[in-house]
């Protein structure tokens, strides 16, 4: 009996030691880097060659190709076990034709929808980090399909890979402290309609609880300005509402991705006014801190020649990882980032 007790004690001691070693090993793992590594050029390409294919007919708002696109996104989230904040099998935030047609200057459009998926925070579930991109493009014009691989197929598939990485972490017990909403918005090409509907009409979560919006719109190509140094991305708006978000973004990039962060279009006097031209703006106007990730325009911008074979997938991989790392840091900070510049504006009014 004494021998049996001794053996049992030895086994228990070894198990305890093994558990401590595993715990120590886990503490030494950079989980952000581990899950960012699952975002790969190959997977991004596999998604984009489907999403920006002729089958999706240019994803024009409310048209059959756009309906195929939203089903593709929904099916991905279902397959990954990433739930909808709407509950059950409903991943579509309906954007009614009546509302769309009141908010467009030209054309008449059918009912459309935003696609939404959600990972609940482990400690601060009521604080929401949004990662957004627009799912639509120009459709078919004069018999030619405008595939929109860069605009904004690149941002769309980037969100899918980011969502998958966060879900892998969550399944391993490393879920984000704050909740993350993956928001694919419709009607951007018609006037930022999907994000406007979310922000102005039907925010699924209170904007007051929204920590930031990281918006990805065109991140798969190189513009003429950077042909000699393609390791870049334009950042717009990172410092306009939150000094802390801007500094965090800089720090994360230096630690993990080492991309040249170009702020040319962040200039208040930028004649292109890109700050006002993508979906982040509907959050920024409500004092939600934002970052807009953008590669600039190129010869295929808004042309049928914006096809998936022209995407630089290695660049897309690293830019996507930058967004993931930024979201990871924002979602896991002990304290919510402060929108200090938004508060300052309020005080001066």
Q: What gap in Å lies between CA 104 and CA 345, rounded to an integer? A: 30
pLDDT score at 27: 77
What percent of the chain shows pLDDT beyond 90? 89
Is a pLDDT exceeding 90 seen at residue 241?
yes
Stretch 137-142: mean pLDDT, rounded?
98
Residue whose tokens read 């467009």: 104
- The pLDDT tens digits for 5-19 are 444 454 454 555 555
pLDDT score at 303: 98
What Cα–Cα distance (Å) separates residue 174 from each residue in 31, 35, 80, 312? Answer: 8, 10, 16, 31
Beta strands in the chain (DSSP E): 92-95, 112-119, 124-134, 139-141, 144-146, 178-185, 210-216, 232-236, 260-262, 290-294
Dihedral pair phi/psi, residue 348, rounded to 5°: -85, -10
Is a pLDDT exceeding 50 seen at residue 2?
no
Instruction: Provide the pLDDT confidence category of residue 217 given band limits of 50, 70 and 90.
Output: very high
List b or e across 283-292, with b for residues whose CB sees 16 or more CB atoms inside 10 angstroms: bbeebbbbbb
pLDDT score at 57: 98
Q: What gap in Å lies between CA 134 and CA 123, rounded to an integer? A: 29
Strand partners, 185: 134
Is a pLDDT exceeding 70 seen at residue 111?
yes
Pairing status of strand 178-185 against strand 124-134: parallel
What Cα–Cα distance (Å) separates residue 238 from each residue in 265, 316, 322, 342? Answer: 11, 20, 14, 12
Whether the CA torsion 109, 111, 117, 118 is positive or negative: it is: positive
Stretch 100-108: mean pLDDT, rounded?
94
Paired tokens of 82: 């990433």
Specify whether the CB–CB gap between 245 and 337 falls below 8 A. Answer: yes
Is a pLDDT exceeding 70 seen at residue 231?
yes
- Nearest 10 degrees: CA dihedral of 126, 167, 75, 279? 50
Q: What gap in Å lies between CA 154 and CA 49, rounded to an integer? A: 10
- The pLDDT tens digits for 270-279 are 999 999 999 9
Lowest mean pLDDT among 18-27, 95-104, 161-170, 216-225: 18-27
Closest Cα partner for 115 from 148, 161, 158, 66? 66
């Amino acid at each position: 009996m004494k021998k049996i007790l001794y053996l049992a004690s030895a086994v228990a001691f070894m198990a305890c030691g093994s558990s401590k070693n595993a715990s120590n090993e886990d503490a030494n793992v950079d989980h952000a880097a581990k899950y960012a590594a699952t975002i790969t050029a190959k997977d991004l390409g596999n998604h984009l060659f489907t999403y920006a294919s002729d089958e999706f007919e240019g994803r024009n708002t409310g048209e059959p190709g756009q309906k195929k696109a939203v089903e593709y996104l929904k099916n991905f989230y279902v397959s990954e076990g990433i739930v909808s904040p709407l509950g059950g099998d409903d991943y579509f935030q309906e954007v009614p034709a009546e509302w769309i047609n009141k908010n467009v200057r030209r054309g008449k459009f059918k009912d459309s929808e935003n696609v939404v998926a959600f990972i609940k925070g482990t400690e601060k579930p009521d604080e929401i980090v949004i990662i957004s991109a627009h799912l639509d493009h120009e459709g078919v014009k004069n018999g030619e399909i405008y595939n929109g691989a860069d605009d904004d197929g690149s941002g769309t598939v980037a969100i899918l890979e980011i969502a998958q990485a966060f879900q892998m972490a969550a399944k391993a017990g490393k879920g984000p402290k704050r909740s993350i909403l993956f928001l694919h918005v419709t009607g951007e090409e018609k006037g930022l309609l999907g994000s406007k509907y979310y922000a102005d009409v039907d925010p699924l979560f209170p904007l007051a609880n929204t920590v930031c919006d990281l918006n990805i719109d065109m991140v798969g190509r190189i513009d003429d300005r950077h042909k000699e140094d393609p390791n870049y991305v334009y950042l717009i708006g990172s410092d306009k509402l939150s000094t802390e978000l801007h500094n965090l973004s800089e720090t994360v990039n230096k630690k993990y991705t080492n991309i040249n962060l170009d702020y040319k279009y962040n200039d208040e006097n930028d004649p292109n006014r890109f700050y006002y031209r993508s979906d982040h703006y509907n959050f920024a106007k409500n004092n939600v801190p934002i970052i807009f990730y953008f590669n600039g325009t190129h010869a295929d911008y808004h042309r049928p020649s914006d096809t998936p074979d022209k995407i630089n997938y290695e660049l897309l991989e690293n830019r996507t990882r930058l967004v993931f790392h930024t979201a990871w840091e924002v979602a896991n900070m002990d304290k919510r980032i402060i929108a200090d510049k938004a508060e300052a504006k309020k005080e001066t009014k």
